Structure 1
Amino acid sequence: MDPLLIVAEWWWLAPTAAAAGAAGAVGAAGLRRRARRSGRRLAVDAARHDLKTAQQTVAERRLELKVARAEFARIAAERDAGRVSADRVAGARRMLRERERDMKAVHAEVRVRRVRLSAAKAALPQGSAPRPLERLRAEHETITARWMRYETDPALQISYPAMTDVRQPATAAYLRAAGRANDLRREAEHTPTPAAFSAYRDAVADLEGALETAEHRARVLAGEAPPTAWQEAAQDVLSKSAEAIDQAAGAVSAAFAAWSARKRPRDDR
Structure 2
Amino acid sequence: MAAQMTDAHRRFLQVLMSHGIMEGSETRKLHRQCCEIDKVYYAHDKLDDFISTINSHLQPLFMQIRKGMSEDDGRAHYALVNLAETEITKMASDYTENELELFRKTMDLIISSENGFASSTDILNLADQLKTKKMKKKEAEQVLKVFVEDRWLSERNGEYTLHTRCIIEMEQYILSNYPDVARKCNICHSLAIQSQVCESCGIVMHLPCVRKYFRAQTEPRCPQCNDFWSCDIPGMSRTDSQSPSKTGRTEKSTRRC
TM-score by length of 2: 0.21
The structure with more radius of gyration: 1
Instruction: Kindly indicate whether structure 1 or structure 2 has the higher relative contact order, using CA contacts under 8 Å at least 6 residues apart.
Output: 1
TM norm structure 1: 0.20
More helix by share: 1
Structure with more of its chain in strand, by fraction: 2
